Amino acid sequence: MNVLLIGGGGREHALAWKISQSPRLTKMFAIPGSPGIAEFAECVADISIDDNFAVVNFATEHAIDLVVVGPEAPLVNGLVDALNTAGIKAFGCTKDAAQIEGSKIFAKRLMKKYNIPTAEFEVFDDVDAAKNYIRSKGAPIVVKADGLAAGKGVIVAQTLDEALSAVDEMKTFGTAGNRIVVEEFMDGQEASVLALTDGETILPLKAAQDHKRALDGDKGLNTGGMGAYAPAPVVDENVAALVTEKILRPTIAALKAEGIVYRGCLYAGLMIRDGQPKVVEFNCRFGDPETQVVLPLLEGDLLDLMNSCATGTLADKKLSWSDQSAVCVILASGGYPKSYRKNLPIDGVTKAKSLGALIFHAGTKFANDELVTSGGRVLGVTVTAQNLREAVDKAYRCVDVIHFADMHFRRDIAARALN
């Protein structure tokens, strides 16, 4: 099969790495790809992933059998619809289905209508009404912008003052902040369960735990994710069964009842308390960095599974898993998620690989044949080992040989699971 991968982050590098192992793969292209993805795919940097017309043309001209869409933006932008209209198969959901991530209000209303466990909420387009509601509920309380805001449109307010100023802050998120969701605060442990689905059959992947805050001890600002590990012990067999029966299955069925066939990866961000999972959010794609720890544990042919998702033939597929643990430590630019320097030379990637790490590139580029930083999250250092303790220790040994100026990472990835 000829494959076109859309995206260029750490998640897409992990996808490219796994897809490259498939005996069904003939040739892989990536738009835009990255220096890491270039090991597995021909990277095409002069087409924008937001340009559906150009991507469809490229796929047609290169006889692509399956387009794999990594990030949410092109899904929300209807890329899969455009590909399907042109008769090209794609792994990823349609524009209608992507509302589950693209609009928090769509997701919350769907969950309410179909009794899928999540926090109580109200929707406001008026600032004063939102503030009055917040005053009536008290803190802690959660304020969210409606649309995509690159993970930054959520404020978990511990005090009433914080919540009230959060409402004003939402206005800074452009159209995403026009409507505001105010939500009950949920206490508990977070975990991410990603599932492959063809709209009928649902195959949940091993649960992972992300580390969203920038600093150790879950301090500092929210980021795209500073590290992850899998499997996450908080999702034991009982919780996993509840996630499938009370969340994943009803959600796919709810979408279907609304006339939407969901194909691709459904990501359930969960809060788990006393063994009961509730939905924090849905994403319409693989998680990043979760993908960087989940795929190394998956045995078998990811391309074949993705093709089955796209063609509605997942029913006869099974997943098999390594019994190891995986840990990913994200190396970020100092200052991220706020402003940071770029174009800083990166040393030690080859050394870290020789120590057994998988290095997934998130924000790198080549400048005069030298690998340099080009984003907030720069590299994901992933290690698998017999157990979580060994994986953590080995991951940090690999991290210690990598260097770039201002490099920042968390020292406590998976610490909670080890305690």
Task: Give the footprint of ligand GLY on this chain (CB under 6 A).
Answer: 210, 225, 283, 287-288, 290
Q: How far is the CB of 288 from ligand GLY (least distance, A)?
A: 5
Distance CA 259, CA 404 (A): 49
Report strand pairing: 227-230 vs 90-91: unpaired
Window contacting ligand AMP (CB under 6 A); options: 7-15, 62-70, 182-190, 337-345? 182-190
Per-residue x/- mask for ligand AMP, residues 271 to 310, rule CB under 6 A?
Answer: ---------xx-----------------------------
Q: How far is the CB of 228 from ligand GLY (least distance, A)?
A: 7
283: left (phi over 0), alpha (psi -120 to 50) or beta: beta
Query: Toward ligand AMP, which CB reaches closer, 177 or 199?
Result: 177
Which tokens belong to 298? 């998956």
CB atoms within 10 A of CB 129: 15
Backbone torsions φ then ψ of 162, nearest 5 degrees: -60, -40
157 counts as binding ligand AMP under rule CB under 6 A: no
Report strand pairing: 154-157 vs 141-145: antiparallel
Host H or E run for residue 102: helix 95-102
| Residue among 104, 314, 96, 303 at smallest CA distance from 196 | 314
258 binds, among ligand AMP, ligand GLY, none (CB under 5 to 8 A by kind): none
Angle between the N-to-C axes of helices 10-19 and 302-311, in degrees from 0 to 180, rounded to the nearest 10: 100
**End-to-end Cα spacing for the chain:** 45
198 binds, among ligand GLY, ligand AMP, none (CB under 5 to 8 A by kind): none
Question: Looking at 183, 288, 290, 301, which residue binds ligand AMP (CB under 6 A)?
Answer: 183
Q: How far is the CB of 413 from ligand GLY (least distance, A)?
A: 13
Q: How far is the CB of 120 from ligand AMP (least distance, A)?
A: 9
Using the Cα atoms of residue 49, residue 20, residue 27 and residue 316 in order, give the sign of their dihedral: negative
260 counts as binding ligand AMP under rule CB under 6 A: no
Per-residue x/- mask for ligand AMP, residues 86 to 125, rule CB under 6 A?
Answer: ---------------------------------x------
186 counts as binding ligand AMP under rule CB under 6 A: yes
Query: Toward ligand AMP, which CB reaches closer, 138 or 356?
Result: 138
